[in-house]
Amino acid sequence: MMDALMLGFKDLFKNKRLFFIFEACLLMVCVIIMSVSFALIWELDQRSIDRTSSEAYTVIPTSNDMTSNSQLISKVNPLLNKGGRSFFHSEYLTSQMGLTTVIVIDSSLNDLLYSDEEMNQTSYAKIFTKADLDQTLMTIDFPEPTTFGSTDVSRFDERIFDSFFDDEVIIVLLHTNELGKWMESTYGSEIFDLVDNVQFTASDKQNGLVAAFEAIFDDSFLTLQPSSYQNDELRFILLYVFPTIAFVIAALLVALTIMYISLLKKLYREYTIHLISGATLKAIYARNSVFIIILIAFCLLGVSVLNGFELNDIFGIISVILLLIFFTFELLLYVVLKKRNISITLKGVD
């Protein structure tokens, strides 16, 4: 068996150019599958948290008149205290902290983040961050009473917090009636951000929050357009991206199979000479498997590097696909070895 493995390595060395082409093709297949899987898993995840029934908006500015900014904020503020969720990037705090700072308003997080005592206060804020900013935070003059939370950020609802970067400062506001104090209202970019990121759930809609929210913008410089972004994206992935990707993957797999069969044809004469000289089919299998196993191992390594060495769903999907490719290649070898007649090969007919 050792000899068979050694011969397998020799085959690999002899066909190194073909090996690299194989590897590139296989890695290409895997990277495409990875990208699509990422997109699909993300979309399915979004659907699993019932985004389909949520309301979101695309904001279109229709005027340069920003004088009604403060009014708009004061109308949106109590509404977001009752339900819905949103966030905006704070320009003032970002400049003070030296890190991008995001302010989140989400009443549904209250139970998770605040004690009863904190909840009883009319206005309250808590800061959560993945960065070590204790010293910096102490020096900043916040608009309202603020404490620095030690809650594990990963416990936050993924719907909002997954979209932030690790080193961003996240400030969660509790029931503020002074949202305007946290926002820069002269230019309207933060209110624009806040409205653009707003989401209401189905129960918010039932409670009349959605209608009330939309009514605020009837005479505003911002016009709301209901966004069906999530559904559009899923539809686009399923209807257009998937068939294209499936075609590309199928083409690459066919190319890989053709290349593999041509490699087998090239090696088959040598295999035949070994069979005549006493090699068993098992030895030929072992020899051929060296090429395939190393091919797949390198591919798996490449995938792992791209995947950050995480054992997640993507890694699982790719592993299963590579395993299928391995068995397909072994099956092809089996068919070639079983079907062909040694003596005919020797006459040069094949």
Partner 1 sequence: MRLLALENLSKVYNKNTRSETRVLQNCSFILNKGDFLIISGESGSGKSTFLNIAGLLDKEYDGEYTIRGQAVEKHNSNQLAILRNEMFGIVFQDYVLVEDASAYENIIIPLYYSKKYKRKERRNRIHEITQTLKIEDILNKSVSQLSGGQRQRVAIARALINDPDVLLLDEPTSALNQDLAQGILQFILSFGQKHHKTIVLVTHDTQNIPNVFNKHYQLADGKMTLC
Please tell me whether residue 273 binds partner 1 under the rule CB under 8 A.
Answer: yes
Name which of 40 and 264 has its Cβ closer to partner 1.
Answer: 264
What is the closest distance, in whole angstroms, from the C-beta atom of residue 24 to partner 1 in the complex? Answer: 24
Binding partner 1 (rule: CB under 8 A), the pick from 24, 250, 276, 323 is 276
Alpha carbons 58 and 335: distance in angstroms, whole number:
58
Residue matched to tokens 């969720």: 85
Q: CB nearer to partner 1: give 126 or 274.
A: 274
Q: How far apart are CA 343 and CA 44, in angstroms?
A: 56
| Segment interacting with partner 1 (CB under 8 A) among 20-28, 276-284, 291-299, 327-335 | 276-284
| 308 touching partner 1, by CB under 8 A | no
Q: Is 341 in the site for partner 1 (CB under 8 A)?
A: yes
280 near partner 1 (CB under 8 A)? yes
Binding pattern to partner 1, positions 5-44, x when CB under 8 A? --x------x------------------------------
Interface with partner 1: number of residues (CB under 8 A): 23
- Which position has the token pair 């690299």? 20
> What's the closest the beta carbon of residue 5 comes to partner 1, in angstroms?
11
* 335: contact with partner 1 by CB under 8 A: no
Position 347 contacts partner 1 (CB under 8 A): yes
Q: Please, what is the minimum distance in Å from the beta carbon of residue 267 to partner 1?
A: 10
* Binding footprint of partner 1 on the chain (CB under 8 A): 3-4, 7, 14, 269-270, 273-283, 341-343, 346-348
